[in-house]
Amino acid sequence: MGKGTRAERELANMLWESGFAVMRSPASGAGRKHPQPDILISNGDRAYGIDTKSSSEDLVYISKKEVANLEEFCEKFGCEPMLGVRFDWEGWVFFKPENCETTENSYKVSRDKVGLVLEEGVGFRKQETL
C-alpha cells in the first residue's frame, strides 16, 4: 500500500469520526475515464468532493486540469470541491480551490497557509493559527 492510499484511509476514518458518510474512489484521477474525487463525503447538510495529496515538502502543487476535473465533477454531482493536503508531521488541512494561490499551470498549497481543519463532531472549521 502506497503513502497516498494510507493517507486516504486515514482521512476516511477521520471523516467518519467527524460525522460524515464517506466513499473512497480507488484509482481516481488519471486511472479513470471520467473525473471523480479521491473521496466523496456528506453529513446530510453539506457534501464535498475531496482530492487528496500527501507530502513531506513545504509546498504542494496540484495541476489546474486536476482541479478543473474536480470542479466539473462536483458541479454535476451537487457537492463542493475541496483539496485535502496531509503535510508530514502536521496532519490534514483543507482548502477550497478559490482560496489557493495559483501559478501558470497549478494550484499551490503551502505548509504555512491557513486553511480548514477537521473537528470531530463539528466538521470543517477555519484554523485558528499555524
Residues marked active site are found at 28
Q: Give the Å distances, CA to CA, from 1 to 7, 89, 105.
A: 10, 20, 29
Q: Give the Å distances, CA to CA, from 112 to 14, 68, 85.
A: 22, 24, 12
- SS3 call for 78: coil
Q: Report how far apart the first and last C-alpha atoms of the chain are (Å, whole number).
A: 31
Report the alpha-carbon distance of residue 40 to residue 74 in Å, rounded.
Answer: 9
